[in-house]
Amino acid sequence: MTRVGVVTFPGSLDDGDALRAVRVAGGEAVSLWHDDPALHGVEAVILPGGFSYGDYLRCGAIARFAPVMDSIVKAAGDGMPVLGICNGFQILCEAHLLPGGLTRNQHLHFRNRDQWLRIESVGTAWTGSYEAGQNILVPVKSGEGCFVADEQTLDLLESTGRVVARYVPGPGLSEEGYNPNGSLRDIAGISNEAGNVVGLMPHPEHATEALTGPSVDGLGFFTHVLGHLGRVSA
């Protein structure tokens, strides 16, 4: 069974949900501890949502220096799939595994709601179970979810197909208010050049079971990485 690690930092909130999503998808969920550099034989890593180290300094700025992150940065460079969700996305940017950064929502309010996304890139280790242009519904919950980067970086992400998902209008979301945080070019998620590292501000782990989520649309992130790893190791 494919082993997928989920890191717990002081202040993580969604590590349990990410572990459950891995199990629902059919993988073996492995808890990783921020102060332990060992990855314990996992084949992929998820950095979950929450408020790592209380979000002091900047969101993710302290977590970037956790002992486990040294191992994750090296493993990502060697091709290991890594998914950062919400605070995990912020950590990936602070660790320079992804470009740009996440700042306060432009309206300065915490946004917590079900959110429509359009999957733009299916060429990553996490998104290949979707179709390009497919709309999915997953929760978003963040106060510092506004993705920013300079125009050159934004153009590079667009031209190389590294925008993974965008905020889009949908039922319950107005044409003016569909972007929950003011992210530039409506960007909800991006990948690195190799496609093994993905950062996503909304929460697919909260949309894996009909009983608790607004949909099961998020499950594809977790099932695909298991299939991807199975093909790589075959």
Catalytic residue among 43, 94, 120, 205: 205
Q: Which among 34, 43, 59, 86 is annotated as catalytic?
A: 86
* 94 tagged catalytic: no
Active-site position among 43, 94, 203, 206: 203
Amino acid of residue 185? R
151 is catalytic: no
Q: How far apart are CA 42 and CA 130, in angstroms?
A: 24
Told to judge if 107 belongs to the known catalytic residues of this protein, a careful annotator would answer: no
Catalytic (active-site) positions: 86, 203, 205
